[in-house]
Amino acid sequence: MAAGVAAWLPFARAAAIGWMPVANLPMPVAPTDKNKRQDELIILNVSGRRFQTWRNTLDRYPDTLLGSSEKEFFYNEETKEYFFDRDPDVFRSVLNFYRTGKLHYPRYECISSYDEELAFFGIVPEIIGDCCYEEYKDRKRENAERLMDDQEDNKDAKLPNMTFRETMWRAFENPHTSTMALVFYYVTGFFIAVSVITNVVETVPCGSAPNQKEVPCGERYTVAFFCMDTACVMIFTVEYLMRLFAAPSRYRFMRSVMSIIDVVAILPYYIGLVMTDNEDVSGAFVTLRVFRVFRIFKFSRHSQGLRILGYTLKSCASELGFLLFSLTMAIIIFATVMFYAEKGSSSSKFTSIPASFWYTIVTMTTLGYGDMVPKTIAGKIFGSICSLSGVLVIALPVPVIVSNFSRIYHQNQRADKRRAQKVQKARLARIRISKTGSSNAFLHSKRNGLFNEALELTQLPYKMNLSDQSSTEEEQRLSKSTSLLESQHHHLLHCLEKTTNHEFVDEQYYQQSYLEAGLQNYPSRSPSLSSQDGVTGTCCTRRSKKHHTPLPNASAPAHMQPLTHTHTHTHQQGLQELSTIHIQPLSTSRSSLNMRIDEPAPLNCQSSQITTAIISIPTPPVTTPEGDAHLPAGPTHQNVVKVSAL
């Protein structure tokens, strides 16, 4: 609930009088404000700068340092103010958060100092407002990358207990690690260069006998070139096999681009070996030699810049695609126009539209070979328009590609897209969660708050250890965890429930009960627990999503609280305490429910909501100790289980 509307809570509660004449049930008791005092100004002295605010303003967020009694530790008796030895500039943002309900991140602030201040004052950075959240996340990411880069520099120390295979792989990937690796690196580089030069020189015409026509060197010194080629291919094959052996995941290695290049580079030689005698296919064999030029791509292992260029082109695929598309469009348009413009003139080279394509391409890329020129006036006009537009069309996407390259080169953000997607998902989840957060708080406190209403409820016996008499202690313990504001809000929602004689439940429970309309046993549940929105699947960990057989304690993950759970056929009453922030998009839970509709008792075992730090923390649950022994006892025993989130 935003802080701003906290001031309107009294109004909302007063307006609830509108429901009273309509309701048929008695209303719950309102929470009382035991120590109600007049609102007063408090002084916060932060490193000498004094801030003043109303006490109520700070009380809006009881989970933070300033909103709870933790600030009493900083109270200075002599000066009657709260003294904090922290940065006053950042404190300004912190205090504004209390005032307006929105946390802003100032751009000039260093990200780590801001994070520290937030951590000190107990504010979760996730509640930074949308206006500043992007900036905050960007800075945070840059900082994390910087830290990672620093760490990587220290990572080259050799780890003990590496197998021979792992050492080899590390040697291949980082040549700086050992001398052998460096030697290997240079040797392969040398041979790649030699191989490429050989291929090139092969075709140069060497001197020839005077009566014969010039032959290329390759045909003159066949044996020498063949030996050279063989040697290079040997080295490349050995290198490839060694890499294949050392790779941690051979399948993945074989699918990687570099290994494909390796294979393509050496394959023509072997194919040539096999096929030399066959005259028909030798033509094709000659074509295959073209692929030997792929050896030059092997240099990309040796050059970081080449790799980044390759990655840039891949990541700019959309810009390149746009460039290609617009060029094609323009080529077709201009070729058509030129063809028709030049149709009349005699001896025109523009014999057909495809023939005009060549002219258009040459003109648009400002090459201008001059083998085809328009002769008519119209042709010349359109030709000039063509060349002007060519400059524009080609010049437009190029800066984007260039900036991409430089960005990647400098920051090496290979995982940028992946991380950006996660952030986006997380943001959407955040927004949704803040909406469900307050309703969850109500549902949580309903379970806990029943102790406070033990006075008026129910005639059916319920198996709770606590009775009215002992409830005061519990009450105090419990009321500590929910602020007055929250309890008032929950009282309001409770009144609405009573007015309409229906109860709020959370979505999971609703989905379940909707799906299994016939399978549930309502009467056996004790009303106090039955009024819960039993969030189910507490016993099912993520691992055992699909099974709904009773799971013994041992199979639960180690951090599950050591309480038992009954697992009836239909569904489970459970208390799900979410102590970690775990984000699960709502759509998946729904779709997974749909998927499991054919199972007899689908269980939604996914934790679906989160509570942020603002929400009150649920207190220890009600447990019935006899639940252990009555595991198969069926629906009459309903145990409340506390499971910490996975």
Partner 1 sequence: MEAIQGMEVFAIGVVIILFMAVLKQFGILEPMSSFEDSSDSDLELSTVRHQPEGLDQLQAQTKFTRKELQSLYRGFKNECPSGLVDEETFKTIYSQFFPQGDATTYAHFLFNAFDIDRNGSIRFEDFVIGLSVLLRGSVTEKLNWAFNLYDINKDGYITKEEMLAIMKSIYDMMGRYTYPCVRDDAPSEHVDKFFQKMDKNRDGVVTIEEFIETCQKDENIMNSMQLFENVI
Least Å distance, CB 498 to partner 1, is 9
Token pair recorded at residue 489:
């809000």
Under the binding rule (CB under 8 A), the answer on residue 158 touching partner 1 is: no
Is residue 461 a contact partner of residue 529, using CB atoms and an 8 Å limit? no
Least Å distance, CB 333 to partner 1, is 12
Cα distances (angstroms) measured from residue 491 to each of 124, 135, 155, 409 = 27, 39, 57, 58
Under the binding rule (CB under 8 A), the answer on residue 381 touching partner 1 is: yes
Under the binding rule (CB under 8 A), the answer on residue 391 touching partner 1 is: no
If the CB atoms of residues 281 and 496 are measured against partner 1, the closer one turns out to be: 496
Q: DSSP class of residue 82? A: E
Under the binding rule (CB under 8 A), the answer on residue 386 touching partner 1 is: no
Contacts with partner 1, 529-568, as mask; x by CB under 8 A: --x-x-----------------------------------
If the CB atoms of residues 224 and 381 are measured against partner 1, the closer one turns out to be: 381
Is residue 300 a contact partner of residue 306, using CB atoms and an 8 Å limit? yes
Q: How far apart are CA 60 and CA 95, in angstroms?
A: 12
If the CB atoms of residues 39 and 152 are measured against partner 1, the closer one turns out to be: 39
Q: Select from 78-86, 107-115, 129-137, 379-387 the region that touches partner 1 (CB under 8 A).
A: 379-387
Contacts with partner 1, 219-238, as mask; x by CB under 8 A: --------------------
Least Å distance, CB 325 to partner 1, is 23
- Using alpha carbons, select from 440, 453, 455, 444 the residue that is nearest to residue 621: 444
Under the binding rule (CB under 8 A), the answer on residue 606 touching partner 1 is: no
Under the binding rule (CB under 8 A), the answer on residue 614 touching partner 1 is: no
Under the binding rule (CB under 8 A), the answer on residue 377 touching partner 1 is: yes
Under the binding rule (CB under 8 A), the answer on residue 455 touching partner 1 is: no
- Using alpha carbons, select from 382, 372, 383, 378 the residue that is nearest to residue 350: 372
Under the binding rule (CB under 8 A), the answer on residue 41 touching partner 1 is: no
If the CB atoms of residues 126 and 486 are measured against partner 1, the closer one turns out to be: 486
Of residues 91-120, those binding partner 1 (CB under 8 A): none
Q: How far apart are CA 563 and CA 580, in angstroms?
A: 19
Least Å distance, CB 437 to partner 1, is 8
Q: Select from 21-29, 131-139, 165-173, 610-618 the region that touches partner 1 (CB under 8 A).
A: 21-29
Least Å distance, CB 26 to partner 1, is 5
Under the binding rule (CB under 8 A), the answer on residue 38 touching partner 1 is: yes
Looking at 310, 344, 550, 552, which residue binds partner 1 (CB under 8 A)? 344
Under the binding rule (CB under 8 A), the answer on residue 9 touching partner 1 is: yes
Residue 576 φ/ψ, nearest 5 degrees: -110, 115
Under the binding rule (CB under 8 A), the answer on residue 20 touching partner 1 is: yes
Number of amino acids touching partner 1 (CB under 8 A): 67
Q: How far apart are CA 310 and CA 295, in angstroms?
A: 16
Looking at 242, 258, 378, 400, which residue binds partner 1 (CB under 8 A)? 378
If the CB atoms of residues 292 and 491 are measured against partner 1, the closer one turns out to be: 491
Least Å distance, CB 7 to partner 1, is 3
Of residues 474-533, those binding partner 1 (CB under 8 A): 488-489, 492-493, 495-497, 499-500, 502-507, 509-510, 513-514, 531, 533
- R_g over Cα of the chain: 37
Residues 6+ apart with CB under 8 A from 516: 570, 571, 601, 602
Question: What string of H, E and C letters represents the secondary structure of 120-137?
Answer: HCCCCHHHECHHHHHHHH
Looking at 120, 340, 358, 409, which residue binds partner 1 (CB under 8 A)? 340
Under the binding rule (CB under 8 A), the answer on residue 436 touching partner 1 is: yes
Task: Classify residue 253 as exposed, middle or buried by CB count within 10 Å of its CB (0-12, 13-18, 19+).
Answer: middle
Least Å distance, CB 536 to partner 1, is 13
DSSP 587-643: HHHHHHHHHGGGSSS----S------TTSPPP------GGGTTTGGGGGG-----EE
Task: Classify residue 552 as exposed, middle or buried by CB count within 10 Å of its CB (0-12, 13-18, 19+).
Answer: exposed
Say how many C-beta atoms besides its own lie within 10 A of residue 612's C-beta.
Answer: 17
Task: Classify residue 34 as exposed, middle or buried by CB count within 10 Å of its CB (0-12, 13-18, 19+).
Answer: exposed
Token pair recorded at residue 275:
């096929």
Under the binding rule (CB under 8 A), the answer on residue 330 touching partner 1 is: no
Under the binding rule (CB under 8 A), the answer on residue 157 touching partner 1 is: no
Q: How far apart are CA 483 and CA 31, in angstroms?
A: 11
Token pair recorded at residue 64:
């933070």
Least Å distance, CB 323 to partner 1, is 23
Q: How far apart are CA 603 and CA 612, in angstroms?
A: 25
Question: What string of H, E and C letters represents the secondary structure of 155-211?
Answer: CCCCCCCCCHHHHHHHHHHCHHHCHHHHHHHHHHHHHHHHHHHHHHHHCCECCCCCC
Q: Select from 10-18, 161-169, 391-399, 416-424 the region that touches partner 1 (CB under 8 A).
A: 10-18
Q: DSSP class of residue 51? A: E
Looking at 131, 244, 385, 402, which residue binds partner 1 (CB under 8 A)? 385
Looking at 143, 259, 413, 439, which residue binds partner 1 (CB under 8 A)? 439
If the CB atoms of residues 263 and 378 are measured against partner 1, the closer one turns out to be: 378
Q: Select from 210-218, 227-235, 287-295, 370-378 the region that touches partner 1 (CB under 8 A).
A: 370-378
Give the interface with partner 1 as residue ranges (CB under 8 A).
1-2, 4-5, 7-27, 30, 32-33, 36, 38-39, 340-341, 343-345, 376-378, 381-382, 385, 435-436, 438-439, 488-489, 492-493, 495-497, 499-500, 502-507, 509-510, 513-514, 531, 533
